[in-house]
Structure 1
């Protein structure tokens, strides 16, 4: 939401320094206005300026308070965040509080009596505070997940088979058979020994999944505060207070 931020300065140099700080912070030059006493030779210039911002009811008080200052810096903010940033920059540069200046002017101003149609009138300003409640998002906690690779020793028991060739000679004494005679020739027999050895391989498997999410809930909260207002008590036919 667009907002207007105003800073009053007793010194034109402070106002120019504030403008430079706003530009350094990224505010467009087109969104910054500077008004000085030289550019507003009369109270009418300031009155028209504040009337365009606050209406005619408050313009006279603000204009009278601003007349006591040398320069005014006006920032046209595009959002609440820009308005807060602009206000902080103006405060750091030495800006006076606009509302405080206007209220101080009204407090210091003597009672105004207007003679009209044979009667006197006295104006008492009735001021009432308003409680503005908003909300903003803040961080209340955080969860961080970090994955890492670790190694651990493992072992498995495995039964292995081995073969061994052995040769045995036995003395015999019997007549040769036809089968014995058939094998009565030169030859060669090749016997192979075999053994089992462990074979190791690795397979990656997903054994667990870790999911991260957020549950969003809404709650209602009652914000309490106090506001002040002016109450005027009217006492008719009151006895006159003696004066010395």
Structure 2
């Protein structure tokens, strides 16, 4: 069964861009139609519905105009009875300067693909937009109400930016100091005690009174050497310590405290003045879940 997915856009240009985008993704141009009330005409390029509307009109009947063509489009889908309330919201969106992009699909896979593509292209949330209209007195689509003028469209879509600063904390490397290590030769006076041994010849004369023998009358000599120890100094170098120079990294967490600025938009309802009309509104946010899938006589929200 053929299903028709309808996306609502703020302007005709937005709808045309969305159609081009869907065409680039493989959707046939003949399966898509753009409906908008642009300068008193409905942009429906390659739209068989427009030609059918003109062909079906009795000879001599006044041209229905842009809104009439859109009415005929929905009549072809749903007939004259049991039309969902949402259809009136779509027509009201066109009356207020918006545009519709309808896409005919034949399988559920294409439904999801087209719905996502319409959302990505900027389709608005029709339910959010209707809620905004109701705050300004909207109760439902009135086919007798005139289309919005350019000034009315601009007034309704006047936007107040809501600004919110964000705090982005980065990091940069700075030099906080360093260490230089020098190696040089030093001289330190030291003292060490050592015991030295000396040998000296000693001569002792002692008186003796005994008879002499032949051995006493022999010649001879005795040599005694004297010795003395002297200190000998030797130096031996040994490595007793190493100073290792390097770097080690550590991490720490620092909380940055600052203040970010933003703006808030307050909405205040004011009492109306009898006899003076006015329209006010804000821009909505697109939501793919609020695109509509419709079949003849039936509409099922995605």
Please give the range of the TM-score, normalised by the shorter of the 2 chains: 0.3 to 0.5
Considering Cα pairs closer than 8 Å and 6+ residues apart, tell me whether 1 or 2 has the greater RCO: 2
Look at both structures and tell me which one has the larger radius of gyration over its CA atoms.
2
TM-score (ref. length: structure 1): 0.38
